Amino acid sequence: MTVLTFLTWAAGIVVVVFLGLLGLAIVVLIAKGKISLNKLVSESNGDASMSRFQFLVFTFVIALSLFLIIVSKPTPEFPAVPPDILALLGISAGSYLVSKGIQFSNPAGLTRPALVITPSATTGTAPNAVVNLTVSTANAQPGTPMPPITWSLEAPAEGTIATGPTNTATYTAPGVLPAGGLKALVRAKAAGFDDATASITS
């Protein structure tokens, strides 16, 4: 084995190990919830994206096929990729780019529906004070009905939150405010909408 061949093999091993460790780190972060795949095949407004899905599937199919071809040979080497495959991969990527162009030409496709809490900030809250909260929608299509709202208090949960009819809730401050002052954060959630928060301080 020549020095050049040895260096080639060594460099290849280093690259493979590095990519393997990088892939393992990404998998671990996904498992821990640090990396979210919720929007992997959806648009920014939450709608499912067929162009993203087909581009993802087609890319994985091509990559897996090349991998199987390489490892099946007695002497691993990068195979000659037929022009038809490259053309299909280009068409797949092109369809994704066209869909993004159509999306950006439609303002409704640029933003995701979101919830908005009113009032968004309340200050000077006294012990046992009651704050009435109302949630509305933003960036939603006209005529979109109000979704079921889930109200919660972020930890540490200072005070209580009681759900009212439809899109309202009532926050009640604790009888004894914390030593450092009241710093409550109310969160409203709904499927298909970005969360809304409201701060309540003393």
Neighbours of 164 (CB within 10 A): 13
Judge contact between 132 and 119, C-beta under 8 A. Answer: no
What's the pTM value of the predicted model, to 2 decimals?
0.49
In this predicted structure, what is the pLDDT of residue 130?
92
Q: What confidence score (pLDDT) does residue 151 get?
A: 92
Q: What is the pLDDT of residues 52-92, one digit of tens each?
A: 788 888 888 888 888 888 778 777 677 777 888 888 888 88
Say what the pLDDT of residue 161 is. 92
Say whether the peptide bond before residue 74 is cis (omega within 30 degrees of 0): no
If one compares 2 and 17, the residue with the highest pLDDT of the two is 17
Residues of the chain with pLDDT > 70, as a percent, come to: 89
What's the rounded Cα separation, in Å, for the pair 158 and 183?
Answer: 7
Q: Distance between CA atoms of 164 and 89, rounded to whole angstroms?
A: 53
pLDDT digits (tens, 9 = 90+) for 180-194: 889 899 999 988 888
Contacts of 68 (CB under 8 A, 6+ apart): none
Among 13-17, 43-47, 74-78, 146-150, which is the least confidently predicted range? 43-47
Residue from 145, 139, 197 nearest 166 by CA: 145
- Run of H or E including 117: strand 114-118
Q: What is the mean pLDDT of the chain?
A: 82
Give the tens place of pLDDT for each residue, 23-32: 899 888 888 8
Query: pLDDT of 124-167, one tens digit each?
Result: 899 999 999 999 988 877 777 888 899 999 888 889 999 888 88
